[in-house]
A and B are shown apart, each in its own frame.
Chain A
Amino acid sequence: MPTGNLSDVIVVGAGVVGAACAYYAAGAGLRVTVVDRGCVAGGTTGAGEGNLLVSDKEPGPELELALCSGRLWAELAGTLPPRIEYEPKGGLVVAPGAAGMSALRDFTARQRTAGVTAEETPAERLRDLEPHLAPGLAGGVHYPQDAQVMPALAAAHLLRAAGGRVRLRLGEEVTGLLAGPDGAMRGVRTRHGEIHAPYVVNAAGTWGGELARLAGVELPVLPRRGFVLVTEPLPRVVRHKVYAADYVADVASGSAALQTSAVVEGTPAGPVLIGASRERVGFDRTLSPRALWRLAAGATALFPVLAAVRAMRAYTGFRPYLPDHLPAIGPDPRVPGLLHACGHEGAGIGLAPATGLIVARCVTGAEPPLDIGPFAPDRFAPSACTAPD
């Protein structure tokens, strides 16, 4: 148990990414203090569906991160209590028409070369996988590597499993970062006092940009709003994570306009979750009838049986995204001792373990599990564009 206000690492943010950073850092023998102005899982983590997805990712650095993370989640599921509701249930991407199916086929061919398992499912076999699916779909692809976890419980149990090396300071907002005469990090200031450590990890999610600014560096994290509809409790009516092929295009889009594609999945607790709208509207939480309509229409088009089912609530979350839709992970070369672990957009739950492992390895001077070049936190700085290699 860390004593006093001295730790090896301070993690700012008690969401799932911060929790994973703390978990792997503690596992490497470090003393960690996690600071959050709210509660555990109080931000985007608490508003997420708990997607651990490879199916929606193109070959590239994010997919590599997702594959690594998927392996880590499977490991964690053996360590953390069953209450985190880890379900390796697989994803099913369906194409409404022939053109969509052909595009999906091309997409999966490229994914396979990157290590994704993707099994094409002809139209007539779709209902073997999902008996309530609407008739008339052109076909689909089954992704056995997709999984789901209950995000808030996953974050809470990662922190608890990290044990005595992790100290939690909740309800404390970080108001300043402390730097030594050489500019290197030496801790954080909160309204309750100072906490000292040679490393500070920015896992502040949507507020990651603000925290970076406290350190005097620019990290353009922006919120992208999403609504999720939650139905009344049901038996298992949807087995996989099921979504329409246009979801992938929406995820990769930079558009500010509302995009929706039905993403439908059951939960062990009973309710079916229906996502996923994306729009750039700042931090506006007002319910949007248009988004609700699109979500409901998309879900009932895939699963007509849901039309008579009642939605009990809807929740709003803000995905923290960076302009190139890749997270910022690793040491910030501009501020010695500052590391970033934010900007995961809608994939933070899935990408958390690999992110946490990278951060822990960077702090201890070990080799990261994969190439972190594409996630360099200073890649958006004006100087980064002009600097020679």
Chain B
Amino acid sequence: MARTPADLVGAQPGPPFEITFDGRSVTARPGQTVAAALWGAGIMAWRTTRDGGRPRGVFCGIGQCFDCLATVNGRPNRRACLVPARPGDAIVTQEGHGHDHLAV
């Protein structure tokens, strides 16, 4: 019996690659989204809310809830469940609206 989802579907992707989450290295497999790669590393939260500062990650999983917003390569508010992971991507926990640098 299959023990992992990848075994189950007979996935034989190319070599895994590295992305970073808050500076630490995370391994991603080709074909995964940023969110899937983070889940694969046991990371469930990569955003804190605007008012309460509470942690959030994937909720709806299909791009509808916007809970999984992350700062990807410096760009805030990317839906991690839709954006494919690419080698060298730098994912940073997004605090609140993610636009602090615009404040006047």
Are A and B subunits of one complex? Answer: yes
Which residues of A does B touch, CB under 8 Å? 130-132, 232-239, 270, 305, 310
B69 → chain A closest CB, angstroms: 10
Contact of B97 among A130, A131, A233, A305 (CB under 8 A): A233
Q: Does chain A have a CB within 8 A of B77?
A: yes
Question: Are A235 and B103 interface neighbours, CB within 8 A?
Answer: yes
Question: Are A131 and B77 interface neighbours, CB within 8 A?
Answer: no
| Contact status of A305 and B102, CB under 8 A, knowing A233-B97, A234-B97 | yes
Q: Does chain A have a CB within 8 A of B104?
A: yes
Question: How many B residues face the partner with a CB closer than 8 A?
Answer: 9
With a 10 A CB-CB cut-off, give which of A130, A234, A239, A310 has the most chain B CB atoms.
A234
Question: Are A232 and B50 interface neighbours, CB within 8 A?
Answer: no
Give the chain A neighbours of B97 by CB distance below 8 A. 232-235, 270
* Additional A-B contacts beyond A233-B96, A238-B104 (18; CB < 8 A): A130-B104, A132-B104, A232-B77, A232-B97, A233-B50, A233-B97, A234-B97, A234-B102, A235-B99, A235-B102, A235-B103, A236-B103, A237-B103, A237-B104, A239-B104, A270-B50, A270-B97, A305-B102
- Docked Cα-Cα span, A237 to B103, in Å, equals 5
Give the chain B neighbours of A132 by CB distance below 8 A. 102, 104
Give the chain B neighbours of A270 by CB distance below 8 A. 50, 97
Specify the main secondary structure of chain B where it touches its partner. Answer: loop
Give the chain B neighbours of A237 by CB distance below 8 A. 99, 102-104
B59 → chain A closest CB, angstroms: 18
B95 → chain A closest CB, angstroms: 11
Which residues of B does A touch, CB under 8 Å? 50, 77, 96-97, 99-100, 102-104
- Docked Cα-Cα span, A130 to B103, in Å, equals 11
Question: Are A131 and B104 interface neighbours, CB within 8 A?
Answer: yes
A267 → chain B closest CB, angstroms: 13
A43 → chain B closest CB, angstroms: 29
Give the chain B neighbours of A305 by CB distance below 8 A. 102
Nearest residue in B to A234 (C-beta to C-beta)?
A: B99
- Docked Cα-Cα span, A236 to B102, in Å, equals 8
Give the chain A neighbours of B77 by CB distance below 8 A. 232, 310
Give the chain A neighbours of B50 by CB distance below 8 A. 233, 270
Give the chain A neighbours of B96 by CB distance below 8 A. 233
With a 10 A CB-CB cut-off, give which of B96, B97, B102 has the most chain A CB atoms.
B102
Give the chain B neighbours of A310 by CB distance below 8 A. 77
Give the chain A neighbours of B103 by CB distance below 8 A. 235-237
A210 → chain B closest CB, angstroms: 40
Give the chain A neighbours of B99 by CB distance below 8 A. 234-235, 237
Nearest residue in B to A309 (C-beta to C-beta)?
A: B99
Nearest residue in B to A235 (C-beta to C-beta)?
A: B103
- Docked Cα-Cα span, A237 to B77, in Å, equals 17
Nearest residue in B to A238 (C-beta to C-beta)?
A: B104
Give the chain B neighbours of A234 by CB distance below 8 A. 97, 99, 102
